[in-house]
Structure 1
Amino acid sequence: MPDEMPLTGGNVSAGVVRVGDTVRRPAGPWTPAVHAYLDHLHAVGFDAAPRPLGIDERGREVLTYAPGVVPWPDRFDLLEPADQLARVGRLLRDLHDAAEGFTPPADARWQVLIPDGGDPVRDGGGIVVHHDPAPWNLVVGDRWVLIDWDMAAPGTRLWDLAYAARGFVPLAAHPDWRRPDASDRLRVLVDAYRLDEAGRRRLVRLLASRAAAMHDLLARESARGVEPWARLWREGHGESWRADAEYAATHADRWLAALLD
C-alpha cells in the first residue's frame, strides 16, 4: 500500500489520511447509510461528492480523493466573485434535487448531532441533506466536491441552505469576516438556488436559529467533555456561533429586503 499522508484542515480531521488516490477516514455506525447515499448521488448524476469505495483492512472508510483547494480560511478569494458564489447555490440545489429519489436502507443509522430545525412540510423535508455545507468542506479544483459527509442525515433543504449562507456569504459577526455586501451575496446564493418567495421568507427566519443550534451543540457537548466539541468550545467557537446568531437576527429585515427586492 502507498504511504499514508495525514490530511489536515478543518476542525475535525484526526485520523484522516490520503493513500494514493483515496482518502481513509474513521468509520462509524452511520457509514453504511452514508455510503448508500453517496452511491445514489453518483447514480443519478451528482458528481460533486466523493465515491465510496468500501472499508479497508483497518476498518476505515475508503473514499475517492478530490484534488484541489479548500477555501476556508486562507483561500476565500476563490469564492469572492459572484459567479463562484452562485456556483455554490447551484451545487446545493443540485444536491438536494438528487437526494429526492433516495430511499435509505431499512437499517440506516445516521449521526444526528443537531436536530433539523426546519419544517418538514414547508422547508423541503423528506430528503437526506449534508448538514455541514460550508467553505471548509468544499474542495475547489477542476471540479468542485463537497467532502465530510459524516453528518449527512434526513433533514430539510432550508436548514441546509441556512447553514451554507452563514459560511459562504459569510453571515459573520466577527470584524475580520463581516461584509458590507453580505445582503447582496446572500441574494446571489439564494437566486442561484432558485428559491421561491415563500422559501425566502422562511429562510430568513432560520438563519439565526441555525447558527444558534451550533452554539448549543458546542455548549452541550463541551459540558459533557466530549471531543472535539469541548476543544472547539475552549477555542471560542461557541461564542463565535452565538455572535453570528445575534447578527443574523439583528439584520433579518435587511436580509429579507435583499431577497424580495
Structure 2
Amino acid sequence: MKPLEGGRTGQIWRDGETVIRPSGTWTPTVHRFLRHLRSRGFAGAPEPIGITDGNQEVVSYVAGRVCEDLGDRFVGSERILVSAARLLCDFHSASQGFLEKDAEAQTWMLAPQEPCEIICHGDFAPYNVAAADDAAVGIIDFDTAHPAPRLWDLAYAVYRWAPLSDPANPAVAFGLDDQLRRADIFCTAYGATAEERRELPEMICRRLRALADFMLASAAAGDETFAEDIDNGDARLYLGDIDYISSHRERLLEALR
C-alpha cells in the first residue's frame, strides 16, 4: 500500500486498484448511494467494496489527475472548467431517486437542506475531481454527501471553481474579472436556469456560513481534524469570502445574466 497525498495525510491509502480510508457513521448510507449511482449508469464515482472490522472503508480507485491547483495551466483551463460543470450536472441527474428508492435508515455527515431535491456531493471542489485526457472524469470523497437542493451543490462548486475568493489570498489564482467570467462559464456548462443564476450569490453565502458553523461546532466538540482546519484559518477564510462575494454581488449578478 502507498499513502495518497492530499487531506488527512497518513489516513488514506491506495492498495492496487482500491482505496482504503477512514469510515464514519454515514459510510453505509454513502455506499448505498454509490451503488445507486452505478445503477443509474454514472461511472464517475468510486465503486463501494466494503467496510472492514477496523472501521475502514474500501472503495475502487478513481483514475486520473486530481485537479488541485487552479493556478496550474492544465487544471485552470476552460476545458477542465466546462467538463467539471458537465460532470456535476451528470452526477446530479444520476443522484435523483435515491431518497425514494432507499428503504434503510439514512445517516449523513452534513445536515440535509430543504428542499431535499437530490443527494449533493457537498464538496465538489477541484481537489475532489479527477481529470484525464484534458477533461474532468471522476469525483472522489463522498463523506459530505447529503440531501439538498441542486443549487446548494452548484453554489459551492461555483465558489470553488471560479473561484469566488478574495485575490488578496495568495492561493487564489484569478482576479475578479476572470472569476466572474469563469462563474458564468461554469453555470452555462452546468445548464443553470435564470432563476438559479439570480439566487446564486445568496446561496453561496448561505453555503459558506453553514460550512463555517459546522467546522466550528465540530472543532468545539473535539474533532481534531476540524480543530486543525480552524487553526489553519479555514473558517476565517470562508467568512472573509462571504464579505468578498457580498461586496461584489451586483457585478456577479451582471456577469451571470
User: Would the TM-score normalized by the shorter structure come out above 0.5?
Assistant: yes
Encode CA deviations 1:155-175: one digit per residue, 9 max, x unaligned. 111111111111111111142
Instruction: Give the distance between the partners of 1:19 and 1:44, measured in 2 at CA.
Output: 27
Encode CA deviations 1:3-53: one digit per residue, 9 max, x unaligned. x2111203x455211111100112222111111111111111111111111
Q: Tell me the amino acid that sits aligned with residue 94 of structure 2.
A: A
Greater mean deviation of Cα atoms: 180-189 or 218-227:
218-227
* 1:74-223 aligned within 5 A: 76-102=72-98, 103-112=101-110, 116=113, 120=115, 125-142=116-133, 144-175=137-168, 176=170, 177=172, 178-179=174-175, 180-223=177-220
Encode CA deviations 1:138-192: one digit per residue, 9 max, x unaligned. 1222562110001111111111111111111111114231423111100000001
* Residues 69 and 76, structure 2, Cα contact 8 Å, conserved in 1: no
Instruction: Give the distance between the partners of 1:239 and 1:77, measured in 2 at CA.
Output: 28
Q: Give the drift of 1:218.
A: 2.5
Instruction: Give the distance between the partners of 1:98 and 1:6, measured in 2 at CA.
Output: 30
* Residues 36 and 105, structure 1, Cα contact 8 Å, conserved in 2: no
Match of 1:227 in 2: 224
Instruction: Give the distance between the partners of 2:55 and 2:216, measured in 1 at CA.
Output: 31
Q: Give the drift of 1:71.
A: 2.0
Structure 1 residue ranges, 4+ long, deviating more than 4 angstroms after superposition: none
Q: Give the drift of 1:76.
A: 3.9
Q: What SS class does the counterpart of residue 181 from structure 1 fall into?
A: helix
Do the aligned partners of residues 215 and 108 (structure 1) sit closer, same or farther apart at CA in structure 2, a change above 3 Å counting? closer
Match of 2:13 in 1: 17
Q: Tell me the amino acid that sits aligned with residue 200 of structure 2.
A: L
Do the aligned partners of residues 23 and 75 (structure 1) sit closer, same or farther apart at CA in structure 2, a change above 3 Å counting? farther
Which blocks of at least 5 consecutive residues in structure 1 are unaligned? Answer: none
Instruction: Give the distance between the partners of 1:100 and 1:91, measured in 2 at CA.
Output: 15
Q: Tell me the amino acid that sits aligned with residue 126 of structure 1.
A: E
* Residues 4 and 13, structure 2, Cα contact 8 Å, conserved in 1: yes
Q: Tell me the amino acid that sits aligned with residue 67 of structure 1.
A: A
* 1:26-65 aligned within 5 A: 26-56=22-52, 58-65=54-61
How many residue pairs end up in the alignment?
Answer: 249
Q: Give the drift of 1:256.
A: 0.8
In the alignment, structure 1 residue 68 sits paired with structure 2 residue 46: no
Q: Give the drift of 1:68.
A: 2.3
Q: Give the drift of 1:195.
A: 1.1
Q: Tell me the amino acid that sits aligned with residue 151 of structure 2.
A: L
Superposed CA RMSD in Å reads: 1.9
Greater mean deviation of Cα atoms: 213-222 or 72-81:
72-81
* Residues 34 and 45, structure 2, Cα contact 8 Å, conserved in 1: yes
Which blocks of at least 5 consecutive residues in structure 2 are unaligned? Answer: none
Greater mean deviation of Cα atoms: 186-195 or 95-104:
95-104
Do the aligned partners of residues 172 and 141 (structure 1) sit closer, same or farther apart at CA in structure 2, a change above 3 Å counting? same
Q: Percent sequence identity over matched residues? A: 35
Instruction: Give the distance between the partners of 2:149 and 2:123, measured in 1 at CA.
Output: 12
Instruction: Give the distance between the partners of 1:107 and 1:212, measured in 2 at CA.
Output: 28
Encode CA deviations 1:40-90: one digit per residue, 9 max, x unaligned. 111111111111112245442111112322222376433322222111111
TM-score, normalization: structure 2?
0.89
Do the aligned partners of residues 110 and 217 (structure 1) sit closer, same or farther apart at CA in structure 2, a change above 3 Å counting? closer
Q: Give the drift of 1:131.
A: 0.6
Instruction: Give the distance between the partners of 2:225 and 2:218, measured in 1 at CA.
Output: 9
Q: What SS class does the counterpart of residue 147 from structure 2 fall into?
A: strand
Instruction: Give the distance between the partners of 1:47 and 1:29, measured in 2 at CA.
Output: 25
